[in-house]
């Protein structure tokens, strides 16, 4: 389950449960970013368990590039639990190599601080 909340300076996305690669979910996220005209996004996925192999993380980045080109103008701070850090860092590194500004954190306060400096 994913929830969206527009804060004063950024869009907050929270999630919980199992998460796998889903183009419909990413379309929903992108639509919300566009509707709220958010260029700063804080994603709190500490209560999410990823079921995503590295190849799907790579395909997700390619999907963003082709379908959501304006995401390159969005800064995203993503907070993950320890179990998801490996896939999170892989996804971040792929995204950065493609021109996206994503950063991975394990602490919401640190993530928000970084995000507000972008």
Pinpoint the alpha helices (H) of 6-70: 23-36, 54-67
Instruction: Report the alpha-carbon distance of residue 34 to residue 53 in Å, rounded.
Output: 28
Cβ neighbours of residue 52 closer than 8 Å, sequence gap 6 or more: 19, 20, 21, 60, 87
Tokens describing residue 85: 């850090």
For 51-90, how does the pLDDT look when each residue is reduced to its tens digit (9 = 90+)?
Answer: 776 666 667 777 777 777 777 889 999 999 999 999 899 8
Q: Say if residues 69 and 36 touch (Cβ distance below 8 Å).
A: no
Tokens describing residue 46: 């500490």
Instruction: Report the alpha-carbon distance of residue 83 to residue 70 in Å, rounded.
Output: 30
pTM for this model (two decimals): 0.87
Spell out the domains of the chain, with CATH numbers in brackets. 2-116 (3.30.750.24)
Banded pLDDT at 113 (limits 50, 70, 90): very high
């Amino acid at each position: 389950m994913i929830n969206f909340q527009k804060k004063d300076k950024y869009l907050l996305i929270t999630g919980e449960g199992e998460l796998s690669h889903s183009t419909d979910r990413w379309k929903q996220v992108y639509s919300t970013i566009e509707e709220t005209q958010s260029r700063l996004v804080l994603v709190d996925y500490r209560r999410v368990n990823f079921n995503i192999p590295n190849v799907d993380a790579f395909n997700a980045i390619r999907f963003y590039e082709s379908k959501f080109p304006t995401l390159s103008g969005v800064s995203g701070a993503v907070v993950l639990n320890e179990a998801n850090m490996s896939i999170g860092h892989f996804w971040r590194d792929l995204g950065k190599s493609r021109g996206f500004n994503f950063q991975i954190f394990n602490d919401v306060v640190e993530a928000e601080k970084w995000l507000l400096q972008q």
